[in-house]
């Protein structure tokens, strides 16, 4: 079955909306693919969804262009200057690099599980509900007493390991990273910004790694890949702007309830054999 252009547009919209919201883009893409009749356990379909994530990451690069170029410049200067290494931007750049390593290793080693058994709708529903409890606890327990300048290397490493949980469809990469940031008493806006920065190397690497699989498959046309990626970029850019404004004034509880309701609905559909698990 070939992914049609209209399906690529729909998946691009879903990816753009959900990639940075704490509701699981992989989970929503899996659900959407299932509803459109696409084989969710097909490696080509999995590769397609990984590739169009590059569009969402491009939105991060554009939205945070000044921040990223500032951090990159500080990191480069710090490699050659002891004085420059005292600047926080240099340290923060290293924090992001260190926090990005765990998911790269785990993602590579667990690839067969991610594209196989974990694509089950039962896993998606269960992860949506279970991680909602963690998010709710984080909102209750968080003191939010530390901002960006109070970040430490250990924070980004811990959050980087938490990001690995997002390899389970339904957990959510941003949900895992923001929640862990809150549990380490980092304020919600800082945790959200850090989630964006940690997502850049992780998702770009995943997209590049899966690109040969998607391009080489008869089920995925180059046109579908381009359309899906462009749509995800446009929608993700708007999503980033909205989320940063939202978390500045609201808790994550609206997302928690949404996840629980969605997970419960999926379980009901599976239990009544309305949809199949794979």
Question: What's the whole-number average pLDDT of the chain?
Answer: 89
Q: Which has more confidence, 2 or 184?
A: 184
Kindly indicate the confidence band of residue 105, based on its pLDDT and cuts at 50, 70 and 90.
confident
Residue 270 reports pLDDT greater than 70: yes
- Mean pLDDT in residue range 252-260: 96
Question: Which pLDDT does position 213 carry in this prediction?
Answer: 66
Residue 1 reports pLDDT greater than 80: no
Residue pair 22/166 in contact by the 8 Å Cβ criterion: no
Residue 167 reports pLDDT greater than 90: no
Question: Which pLDDT does position 16 carry in this prediction?
Answer: 95
Least confident residue range of 37-51, 87-101, 103-117, 167-181:
103-117
Residue 207 reports pLDDT greater than 80: no
- 3-class secondary structure for the chain? CCCCHHHHHHHHHHHHHHCCCCCCHHHHHHHHHHHCCCCCCCHHHHHHHHHHHHHHHHHHHHHCHHHHHHHHHHHHHHCCCCCHHHCHHHHHHHHHHHHHHHHHHHHHHCHHHHCCHHHCHHHHHHHHHHHHHHHHHHHHHCCCCECHHHCCHHHHHHHHHHHHHHHCCCCCHHHHHHHHHHHCCECHHHHHHHHHHHHHHHHHHHHHHHHHHHHCCCCCCHHHHHHHHHHHHHHHHHHHHHHHHHHCCCCCHHHHHHHHHHHHHHHHHHHCCCCCCC
Kindly indicate the confidence band of residue 111, based on its pLDDT and cuts at 50, 70 and 90.
low
Q: Which distant-in-sequence residues (6+ apart) come within 8 Å of 37 by Cβ?
A: 1
């Amino acid at each position: 079955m070939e992914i049609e252009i209209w399906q690529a547009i729909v998946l691009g919209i879903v990816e753009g909306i959900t990639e940075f919201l704490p509701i699981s883009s992989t989970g929503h893409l899996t659900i959407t693919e299932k509803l459109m009749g696409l084989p969710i356990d097909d490696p080509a379909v999995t590769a397609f969804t990984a590739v169009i994530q590059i569009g969402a990451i491009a939105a991060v690069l554009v939205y945070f262009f000044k921040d990223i170029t500032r951090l990159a410049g500080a990191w480069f200067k710090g490699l050659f200057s002891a004085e420059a290494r005292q600047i926080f931007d240099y340290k923060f750049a290293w924090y992001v690099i260190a926090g990005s390593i765990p998911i790269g290793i785990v993602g590579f080693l667990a690839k067969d599980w991610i594209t196989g058994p974990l694509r089950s709708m039962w896993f998606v529903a269960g992860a949506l509900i279970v991680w909602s409890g963690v998010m709710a606890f984080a909102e209750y327990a968080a003191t939010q007493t530390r901002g960006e300048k109070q970040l430490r290397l250990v924070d980004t490493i811990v959050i980087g390991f938490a990001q690995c949980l997002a390899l389970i469809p339904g957990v959510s990469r941003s949900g895992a990273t923001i929640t862990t940031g809150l549990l380490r008493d980092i304020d919600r806006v800082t945790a959200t910004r850090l989630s964006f920065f940690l997502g850049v190397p992780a998702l770009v690497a995943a997209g590049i790694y899966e690109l040969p699989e998607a391009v080489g498959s008869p089920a995925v046309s180059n046109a579908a890949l381009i359309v899906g990626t462009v749509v995800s970029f446009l929608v993700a850019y708007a999503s980033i702007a909205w989320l940063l404004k939202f978390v500045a004034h609201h808790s994550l509880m609206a997302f928690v309830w949404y996840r629980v309701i969605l997970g419960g609905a999926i379980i009901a559909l599976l239990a009544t054999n309305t949809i199949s698990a794979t």
